[in-house]
A and B are shown apart, each in its own frame.
Chain A
Amino acid sequence: EVHLVESGGGLVQPGGSLRLSCAASGFTFSNYWMSWVRQAPGMGLEWVASIRQLGTEKHYLDSVKGRFTTSRDNAKNSLYLQMNSLRVEDTAVYYCVRVFCGTTCYYDYWGQGTLVTVSS
C-alpha cells in the first residue's frame, strides 16, 4: 500500500527557514515524479513544485522560485522541500503527492500534510 508521510512543519518567523520531508513507502519511489501542493487556511489547493525521478528536472511556482528548493534521496525513499526566506503568505498545509505517468502524468496518492505557520 502506498504511504506518503510528511514531517518538518512548524512555527517559524518571517524570513526564517524550514525543511519539509516526505517519507514514501509501498512503491518504487525512484520510478515516480513527485510534487508538493499547499493549502492556506480556509483556501484552495496550490501547486508548489515538482521533481523528476532522478531529480534532473524541477519546476516551481513563480512565487517560491529562488526561495524554495525541492530535492529527493531515492536511496532513502524521501522527498524534501527546503523553504528559505519564508513569508506570512507561505502559511499552509503542505502535501506531498505522487505523480503517475502513463501517456500523461497525473496525481494519484497524497500524504496527510504538514502545517507550516509563518508568523512573528
Chain B
Amino acid sequence: DIQMTQSPSSLSASVGDTVTITCRASQGIYNHVAWFQQRPGKAPKSLIYDASSLQSGVPSQFSGSGSGTDFTLTITSLQPEDFATYYCQQYNSYPLTFGGGTKVEIK
C-alpha cells in the first residue's frame, strides 16, 4: 500500500497569510495526487487533481505542485472560509489512500 505522509498536522495562520502543506508518498506516484478541503461538520470538497489542476470553481488562491513522491498545496491570501482541514490523496493504485490531514486554524 502507498502511504501518504502529510505535514504539518496542524498550523496557525492569520487572514491574508500564505500557507504550504506538504504530502510525501512512500513510492513514486507520478502526478496522481488530489487535494481536498473539509470544513467542520461538512463533506469534503475537491480542490485539486493531477497534483496541480484546479477543480472547476476553485479560486486561484489555491495551487498545487509536485510529482513523483513530494507534493505541496499552497494557499495564498488566507480568507476566513479557508480555515479548515486539508487532505491529500493518491489515486495511482489501489487501495486509494489519504494523508492524515492538516488543520489550518486561525492565529
Q: Does the CB pair A105–B87 fall under 8 Å?
A: no
Q: Does the CB pair B98–A45 fall under 8 Å?
A: yes
| With A44-B100, A59-B94, A107-B89: A113-B46 Cβ-Cβ less than 8 Å | no
User: Is A62 part of the binding interface, using a Cβ–Cβ cutoff of 8 Å?
Assistant: yes
User: Is B95 part of the binding interface, using a Cβ–Cβ cutoff of 8 Å?
Assistant: yes
Instruction: State the B residues within 8 Å of A (CB).
Output: 32, 34, 36, 38, 43-46, 49-50, 55, 87, 89, 91, 94-101
Interface residues of A in 39-94 (CB under 8 A from B): 44-47, 50, 59, 61-62
Interface residues of A in 88-115 (CB under 8 A from B): 95, 100, 104-113
Interface residues of A in 1-49 (CB under 8 A from B): 35, 37, 44-47
Tell me which of A95, A106, A111 contacts B50 (CB under 8 A). A106
Q: Does the CB pair B95–A109 fall under 8 Å?
A: no
List, in ascending order, chain B residues with CB within 8 A of A59's CB.
94-95
Chain B residue with Cβ nearest A110: B43
Tell me which of B43, B45, B49, B95 contacts A47 (CB under 8 A). B95
Q: Does the CB pair A47–B55 fall under 8 Å?
A: no
- The distance in angstroms between the C-alpha atoms of A66 and B6, with both chains bound, is 30
- The distance in angstroms between the C-alpha atoms of A47 and B36, with both chains bound, is 13
12 extra A-B contacts, CB within 8 A, seeds A45-B89, A47-B96: A45-B38, A46-B98, A61-B95, A104-B32, A105-B91, A106-B32, A106-B50, A107-B34, A108-B55, A110-B44, A112-B43, A113-B43
- The distance in angstroms between the C-alpha atoms of A109 and B36, with both chains bound, is 11
Q: Can you list 24 A-B contacts (CB < 8 A)?
A: A44-B98, A45-B44, A47-B89, A47-B96, A47-B97, A47-B98, A59-B94, A59-B95, A61-B95, A95-B43, A104-B32, A104-B49, A104-B50, A105-B91, A106-B46, A106-B50, A107-B34, A107-B46, A107-B91, A108-B46, A108-B49, A110-B44, A112-B43, A113-B43
